[in-house]
């Protein structure tokens, strides 16, 4: 049997790094720390080496389709696919950032939604039978959903929504934000929140697709919230350490063989949340 392998995006720091740390201890196989910046990635690998852990490294910038494809080809070639994929990489503008909202919307939705979508597009067929896919979203997606107007809420909750329709909605948010009209068009005033609505709904769409197209492969795909975690993104006041933030993503990454659920869910504190 070939060596099992896990890939974690954006794992040179923060929750991603903590997910790699936990998986190095708990996963039987190769654990890949990935980063868009090779030197930041290699430094993170060295930091884990000093803890006696031995992650592998591959460059992976989710905003760069060539980088995604190069990584996908590598895992296909070397491992015949991927056993566990954790889509953790994301960005958030700081509250105090004065970048115009339309630009914040475009940049945030591009990385958090469209680049995560590119990851899923390129890696989905690589996920091996029994594989696990974890998309790190946020409870903020639930809050943002509840702040959308009823029509948008209905569309984001519609179990028949297609990936294309979801992409169109994300693009509509960007366009409305650029015109300064997002609030009157029924969107919440949070680019990060809308991007994470996209991640949660995209996860549900991909899970349904897996169930339909690969019903016997036993792959489980979920979105999750790590909680409010002390990282560069969330700041020092958050209650959870990165290792504590890694608990729910790692739980989903290591759902035992033969498990049937959760699948296509949004999970927080190891518990399925209402969408």
Residues classed as catalytic: 192
Distance of closest approach, residue 229 Cβ to ligand NDP, in angstroms? 4
Beta carbon nearer to ligand NDP, 111 or 218: 111
Distance of closest approach, residue 193 Cβ to ligand NDP, in angstroms? 11
Distance of closest approach, residue 117 Cβ to ligand NDP, in angstroms? 13
Site string for ligand NDP, 120-139 (x = CB under 6 A): ----------------x-x-
DSSP assignment of 212-262 equals: HHSTTS--EEEEEE--SB-STTT-TT-SB-HHHHTHHHHHHHTPPTT---S
**CA 255, CA 29: separation in Å to the nearest integer?**
15
DSSP assignment of 90-153 equals: -----TT--S-HHHHHHHHHIIIIIIHHHHHHHHGGGEEEEEEEEEE--THHHHHHHHS-HHHH
Among 169, 174, 225, 250, contact with ligand NDP (rule: CB under 6 A): 225
Among 7, 82, 86, 90, contact with ligand NDP (rule: CB under 6 A): 90
Query: Is residue 8 within the footprint of ligand NDP (CB under 6 A)?
Result: no
The interface region with ligand NDP, picked from 20-28, 119-127, 207-215, 225-233 by CB under 6 A, is: 225-233
Query: What number of CA atoms fall less than 13 Å from residue 79's CA on the CB side?
Result: 21
Task: Name which of 76, 75, 77 is nearest 56 in CA terms.
Answer: 75
Query: Is residue 234 within the footprint of ligand NDP (CB under 6 A)?
Result: yes
Query: Is residue 93 within the footprint of ligand NDP (CB under 6 A)?
Result: no
The interface region with ligand NDP, picked from 171-179, 200-208, 211-219, 223-231 by CB under 6 A, is: 223-231
Among 4, 5, 6, 9, contact with ligand NDP (rule: CB under 6 A): 9
Query: Is residue 13 within the footprint of ligand NDP (CB under 6 A)?
Result: yes
To the nearest 10 degrees (0 to 180), the angle between helices 140-147 and 191-213 is 100
Beta carbon nearer to ligand NDP, 133 or 136: 136
**Contact status, residue 99 vs residue 106, Cβ threshold 8 Å:** no
Pairing outcome for strands 127-136 and 220-225? parallel
Site for ligand NDP in 235-264 (CB under 6 A): 238
């Amino acid at each position: 049997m070939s060596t099992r392998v896990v890939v974690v995006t954006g794992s040179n720091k923060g929750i991603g790094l903590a997910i790699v740390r936990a998986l190095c201890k708990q996963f039987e196989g190769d654990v890949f720390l990935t980063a868009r910046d090779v030197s930041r990635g290699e430094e993170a690998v060295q930091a884990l080496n000093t803890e006696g852990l031995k992650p592998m490294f591959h460059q992976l910038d989710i905003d760069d389709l060539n980088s995604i494809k190069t990584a996908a080809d590598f895992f296909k070639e070397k491992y015949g696919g991927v056993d566990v994929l954790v889509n953790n990489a994301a960005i958030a503008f700081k509250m105090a950032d004065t970048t115009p909202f339309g630009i914040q919307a475009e940049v945030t939705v591009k990385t958090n939604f469209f680049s995560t979508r590119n990851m899923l597009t390129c890696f989905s067929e690589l996920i091996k039978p029994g594989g696990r896919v974890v998309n790190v979203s946020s409870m903020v997606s639930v809050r943002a959903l509840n702040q959308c107007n009823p029509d948008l809420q209905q569309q984001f909750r519609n179990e028949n929504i297609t990936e294309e329709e979801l992409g169109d909605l994300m693009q509509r948010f960007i366009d409305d934000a650029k015109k300064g009209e997002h609030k009157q068009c029924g969107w919440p005033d949070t680019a990060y929140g809308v991007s994470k609505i996209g991640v949660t709904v995209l996860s549900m769409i991909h899970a349904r697709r897996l169930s339909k197209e690969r019903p016997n492969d036993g792959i489980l795909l979920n979105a999750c919230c790590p909680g409010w975690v002390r990282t560069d993104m969330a700041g020092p006041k958050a209650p959870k350490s990165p290792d504590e933030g890694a608990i729910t993503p790692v739980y989903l990454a290591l759902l035992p063989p033969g498990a049937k659920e959760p699948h296509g869910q949004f999970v927080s504190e190891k518990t399925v949340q209402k969408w």
